Amino acid sequence: MTLRETRIGDGRLLVPVFLLIATTIYLIDAIQLAPPIQNGVLTASFFPVVISTIMYVALLCVLWDIARVPKEAAGSSTEKVDQPLGPLWITLLTGAYIFTFSTIGYFLPTFFYVFLMTILFGKGLEGLLFKAAASLIITAAGFLLFGLAFQVRLPTLWSM
Amino acid sequence: MDFLLAILNGFAALAQPDILLYMVAGFLVGMFFGAVPGLTSVLAIALLLPLTYSLDITAALVACASIFMAGMCSGSITATTINIPGAPSSMMTALEGYPMQQRGEGAKALGHAAIASMIGGSVGALALMFVAPLSAEVALLVRTPGKFSLIFFALVVIIISQQKSISKGVITTTIGLMVATIGIDVMQPVARFTFGTGILVQGIDMMSLIIGAFAISELLIQANRRLNRTVDLDQVDASPIRRRDFIPPLSEIREIGAYRYLKAAVIGYVIGILPGAGGSMAAFVSYSEAMRSSKHPERYGKGTPEGIAAAESANNSMCGGAFVPMLAFGIPGDPTTAIILGVLIINGLQPGPQFMENQLELLFPMFASLFISALILVPLSFYLLGPYFLRMVSVRRDVLYSSIAVVALVGAYAATFSIFQMVMALIFGVVAYFLRRQQYPTICLLLGFYLGPSLEKYCRRSLQISDGSPMIFLTSLDSLFFLALTAVFFYFLVIRKPKPNPQS
């Protein structure tokens, strides 16, 4: 594998590259607001321009560190990874939950969300009856806590 | 006289049954979250945050204080019994407690941890009661350029205290600063970074950031693992603790000595005052100092109660110190006080010298809760619950994390009645997940977000006062003082890095 290929496959680049793009969009939007100093007065774009500059410098330092130190020697997160796609499934499931929470209401989406979460966090499809019972209890407990104890009006079907 | 009356009223407030219930419930919740590896008291208070909208402010602050104290000491339980610190602040306790456990003295080690936590926590809470009003007087002396330099000092200390990578600390702090600029400008009626959407004009809600960065990201981190329980049942059964062995002999307590307990408490309290320092730094510094000054330094790392006493006294005393900058200046001393600051802001209370002068009656129940939690609840809970705690923290992960997810997401909705804020919580959770995976410190993100608006406001105001000349930051004495302090800290912590402990 060439050095270029190694670097492209280096997961450590994900965060700095994403932030480089985000900072550039941020800076462009800031400059479009107004010049940083106008008639001797600091405008709304002054601070964003300053912090964008700081961000670029910091990102360059991180990219330099990544270029200097191979991935194998870097010693990244010490967390063991058994399920690399676990976070992706949780994110998609949570997104779906938020969407159905807003359209269908609290009870059904929460029950199915909790049920599917117990499958993702637990040992897959083992003990489905227990997971279903736990989901029911957690959904009910959530309603008791928010709906009754704290008097929060949770969404229901056709209420929004 | 007013001051003493306020203290007495603070303790009297705890006698009300509902407030007492919140203190005890908060303590038990904090104990659970602090003991379970992977959970922290920061997460507990982050989940409590949306509920504070519906709670009386006194009850909310009392609960937060007891969660804070409990979370700081309960990490020593799993640290001692199975060598897995429940909280980062218990890492030094694991170094001494686990070897003691291995030679059958686990209960005694926990007894030492409880006594030290009790002493340190009580000293820290008492110091807070007397120092906090004085700090308000000091805060009144700081002018606009000084306030900018103070916040700048706080952010620099937070960044360099992360130790692993200063660049990464700068990056996450700057992300927080950038997110804080979304919405209406701090000084002019100009909308920034709304990208044409009306919903971003209101800015990013602190709730979404906290829930996302702490709760959602934790779920995503834990989703990488396939484990059935938080603590393996085999480890639970292999580590029995008998209650009768819990109380350490008086001779050992005398051997540690009042001086060592108090010294550790003072170290912890002072470190707590430093922005962003936290319990783990307090424990580490106190432990290192105890080893340096010990008559028997060769015993450290092999199971000495002196080490446990130093670490636990300091990390619990830190709780009191961390409130000082938060209440006097609105600058959090550690991650937990950062979220407690959120509780105050949600309830329309802005920490600062005026707040301290006019709202002391709101704060003293919280101080009293900190004191009572340390003096009574810590030793009582260790003695009563210690033998059962390993079983209690061995929870099915699927049930635990799905419960946390529901509380976090529905809490984000309950606080704001906004689906958009739930979406933002998820987005911040994903961002924080990737940051944490690559060892970027997410606490800097939160503190950058909190302190960003004030930093910008004081910077622009100071430059307006001086007609654009940055020399105002050097000619104002208070500003010069904080800038000099920044340089001193930078020199000692970065340029002259502390040598690593040869025994570790």
Concatenate the DSSP letters of all residues of A11-44 into one string.
GGGHHHHHHHHHHHHHHHHHHHH--SEETTEE-T
Return the pLDDT at B83. 80
pLDDT beyond 60 at B424: yes
Query: For B12-57, what is each residue's pLDDT tens digit?
Result: 999 899 999 999 999 999 988 888 777 788 888 888 888 877 788 8
CB-based contact (8 Å) between A67 and chain B? Answer: no
* Token representation of residue B431: 């961002």
Return the pLDDT at B472. 92
Q: Higher-confidence residue: B136 or A147? A: A147
For residue B403, which of B36, B85, B71, B81 has the smallest C-alpha distance?
B36
Return the pLDDT at B243. 73
Q: Identify the band that residue B103 occupies on the pLDDT scale cut at 50, 70 and 90.
A: confident
Give the pLDDT mean for A129-138.
93
Measure CB to CB from residue A98 to each of B419, B440, B464 and give the nearest one.
Answer: B419
pLDDT beyond 60 at A79: no
C-alpha atoms less than 13 angstroms from C-alpha of B101 in its C-beta half-sphere:
24
Nearest residue of A to residue B216, measured between CA atoms: A91
Separation of alpha carbons B469 and B290, rounded Å: 47
Interface test with A, best of B406, B421, B423 (most A CBs within 10 A): B406
Q: Higher-confidence residue: A5 or B300? A: B300
Query: For B478-492, what is each residue's pLDDT tens digit?
Result: 999 999 989 998 888
Return the pLDDT at B1. 64
Select, from the ranges A70-84, A87-101, B341-355, B482-496, the one with the highest average predicted confidence (pLDDT). Answer: A87-101
Query: For B388-412, what is each residue's pLDDT tens digit?
Result: 776 766 778 889 899 999 988 998 8
Return the pLDDT at A1. 45
Give the pLDDT mean for B274-299.
84
Q: Higher-confidence residue: B333 or B19? A: B19
**C-beta atoms surrounding B165 within 10 Å:** 18
Separation of alpha carbons B43 and B339, rounded Å: 9
Nearest-CA distance from A2 to chain B in Å?
23
Return the pLDDT at B504. 42
pLDDT beyond 70 at B165: yes
In the block, which residue shows the tokens 């900072």?
Answer: A23
Separation of alpha carbons B93 and B81, rounded Å: 11
Separation of alpha carbons B337 and B398, rounded Å: 29
Contacts of B463 in chain A (CB under 8 A): 42
Separation of alpha carbons B50 and B416, rounded Å: 8
* 3-state secondary structure at position B184: strand
Q: Higher-confidence residue: B235 or B119? A: B119
Return the pLDDT at A132. 93
Contacts of B473 in chain A (CB under 8 A): none
Give the pLDDT mean for B134-155.
86
pLDDT beyond 50 at B309: yes
Contacts of B411 in chain A (CB under 8 A): 146
Concatenate the DSSP letters of all residues of B43-65 into one string.
HHHHHHGGGGGTS-HHHHHHHHH
A vs B, Cβ pairs < 8 A, gives 197
Give the pLDDT mean for B162-166.
75
Nearest residue of B to residue A76, measured between CA atoms: B438
Q: Identify the band that residue B312 occupies on the pLDDT scale cut at 50, 70 and 90.
A: very high
Q: Are B370 and B65 in contact (CB under 8 A)?
A: yes
Q: What is the ipTM of this complex?
A: 0.89
Return the pLDDT at B502. 43
- Residues counted in chain B: 504
For residue B285, which of B294, B295, B277 has the smallest C-alpha distance?
B277
Q: Are B64 and B235 in contact (CB under 8 A)?
A: no
Return the pLDDT at B138. 79
Mean pLDDT score of chain A, rounded to an integer? 84
Separation of alpha carbons B255 and B384, rounded Å: 26
Query: For B202-246, what is each residue's pLDDT tens digit?
Result: 888 888 888 898 889 989 988 887 777 766 666 655 556 677 778
Query: For B442-451, what is each residue's pLDDT tens digit?
Result: 888 988 998 8
